[in-house]
Amino acid sequence: MADEERYVRPPSAESEGLVPGRGRLRGRRVLVVGGGQRIVDVETDPVGNGRAMSLLFAREGAHVAVADRDEASAAETVRLIEAEGGQAFAISADISHESDVAEMVASAVRGLGGLDGLALNVGIGLGGLGLAGVKASEWDTVLGVNLRGPMLCCREALPVMEPGGSVVFISSIAGLIAGSRLPAYDASKAALGGLMRHVALEGARKGVRANIVAPGLVDTPLGRAATQGRPSRGRSPTPFGRQATGWEVAYAALFFIGDESVYVTAQTLAVDSGLTGIS
């Protein structure tokens, strides 16, 4: 199909974050790890996945703990939530540090008065393209953040999470298909599936669910930074003719955090316009 004939799926009001909350998380207490966002161009940056999730959960009635290694960015997310009348507070934490994770979860439980939901929106990509570009130190750093970090978060959160709670991992279709050309990133995201299933197994003892949202190409500040480093990413065709928005990823996470998915656990949902299924 010629470019001028390619169908472009118009964004909905939800896609643009314009829909008011419907009370789906009223009374819930949710920790969003990675709830700030990177700045590429402050004038034009779209919303990132973590900030969109934090805002959406708060709109739906949740009290949100926004954790990020960038304290100022977490605080800005909190400011935006409070400007809409929501409840939130910021926590500074770097999940590559074990002590930070323990204190982060403890701070969230203290501030929220308990914990019903955990959203893990973390991920870095380092190194040159292909195996030849991999340095062992960079491999270790990527897996330390992308895999070890979420494991530590779940290790600390699962014992204190309320029965019937939910854990949502934000992964990537790079964990399902090859394509990023960053071996450490791909491997860490694929391994996240194994961790998620183990958390679902242990969590089932008290009804805690665990699932993955795997975004495809998303127009976020981090996505734009990735495109600057690898321009071909921005030219990658998608079945719906455009990249996803952070809000579209956030709504998938909302499904898993809320009761609409009460009988769903140990599953992966690709938010990719069909890239992993029909492309």
Residue 3 lies in a domain: no
**pLDDT tens string 120-157:** 999 999 888 899 999 999 999 999 999 999 999 999 99
On whether residue 5 sits in a domain, the answer given is no
Average pLDDT of the chain is 93
Predicted confidence (pLDDT) at residue 226 exceeds the cutoff of 90: no
The CATH number linked to 203 is 3.40.50.720
By the 8 A CB rule, do 118 and 157 touch? yes
Question: What distance in Å separates the CA atoms of residue 36 and residue 121, rounded to the nearest whole number?
Answer: 10
Closest by alpha carbon to 50, among 77, 13, 83? 77
- The larger pLDDT score, comparing residue 275 to residue 223, is at 275
- Give me the number of domains the chain comprises: 1
Tell me if 128 is assigned to some domain: yes
Q: Check: CB of residue 275 under 8 Å from CB of residue 173.
A: yes
Does any domain span residue 11? no
Q: Does the residue 7 lie in any domain?
A: no
Q: Which domain holds residue 273?
A: 25-278
pLDDT, tens only, 93-105: 999 999 999 999 9
Residue 7 among the catalytic residues = no
Tell me if 99 sits within 8 A of 64, measured CB to CB. no
Q: pLDDT band at residue 1, thresholds of 50, 70 and 90?
A: very low
Q: Model's pTM, two decimal places? A: 0.94
- pLDDT tens, 161-192? 999 999 999 999 999 998 788 999 999 999 99
Quick: pLDDT tens for 66-115: 999 999 999 999 999 999 999 999 999 999 999 999 999 999 999 999 99
Q: Above 90 in pLDDT, residue 47?
A: yes
Asked whether residue 212 is assigned to any structural domain, the reply reads yes
Check if the beta carbon of residue 242 is closer than 8 Å to that of residue 211: no
pLDDT of residue 5: 72
Residue 92 lies in a domain: yes
pLDDT over 80 at 236, yes or no: no
Among the listed residues 7, 185, 251, 263, the single catalytic one is 185
Q: Is residue 112 part of a domain?
A: yes
Q: CA 157 → CA 33, 150, 208, distances in Å?
A: 12, 10, 11
SS3 per-residue string spanning the chain? CCHHHCCCCCCCCCCCCCCCCCCCCCCCEEEEECCCCCCCCCCCCCCCHHHHHHHHHHHCCCEEEEEECCHHHHHHHHHHHHHCCCEEEEEECCCCCHHHHHHHHHHHHHHHCCCCEEEECCCCCCCCCCHHHCCHHHHHHHHHHHHHHHHHHHHHHHHHCCCCCEEEEECCHHHCCCCCCCHHHHHHHHHHHHHHHHHHHHHHHHCCEEEEEEECCEECHHHHHHHHHCHHHHHCCCCCCCCEEHHHHHHHHHHHHCHHHCCCCCCEEEECCCHHHHC
Who contacts 275 (Cβ-Cβ below 8 Å, separation ≥6)?
173, 177, 216, 217, 238, 239
235 pLDDT higher than 70? no
